[in-house]
């Protein structure tokens, strides 16, 4: 799930496309747990993470927020909106892709 800064907590599920407020992707298997005693979920700031996506995605595509906690491919994305690069593909519709999170 793609999250952005804002909302009632520090981060919230993204509701905007191409948001410059993007914070990262909720991690399913965090390697490093910073602030492990804090409440909430771990946000991947770097690394390989499964990510909810919508639309066609090819390996190597730049990924940005798409709303509803999802990411989408946008190879013309502006700096500050980029979550990372797709490692796997999605043909169309909704799915899950592995993304190399590397906030740019």
Mean pLDDT by 10 residues, the chain (104 residues): 92 95 93 82 92 97 97 97 97 94 88
pLDDT of residue 31: 84
State residue 37's pLDDT score: 82
Cβ neighbours for 62, distance < 8 A, ≥ 6 positions apart: 73, 74, 75, 77, 82, 84, 85, 104
Give the Cα separation of 80 and 28 in Å (integer): 24
18 backbone φψ class: left, alpha, beta (φ>0; ψ -120 to 50): left
């Amino acid at each position: 799930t793609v999250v952005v800064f804002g909302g009632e907590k520090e981060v919230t599920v993204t509701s905007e496309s191409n948001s410059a407020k993007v914070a990262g992707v909720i991690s399913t298997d965090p390697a490093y747990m910073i602030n492990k005693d804090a409440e909430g979920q771990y946000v991947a700031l770097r690394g390989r993470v499964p990510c909810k996506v919508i639309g066609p995605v090819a390996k190597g595509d730049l990924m940005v927020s798409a709303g509803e906690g999802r990411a989408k491919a946008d190879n013309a994305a502006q700096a500050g909106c980029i979550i990372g690069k797709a490692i796997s593909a999605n043909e169309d519709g909704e799915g899950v892709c592995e993304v190399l999170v590397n906030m740019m």
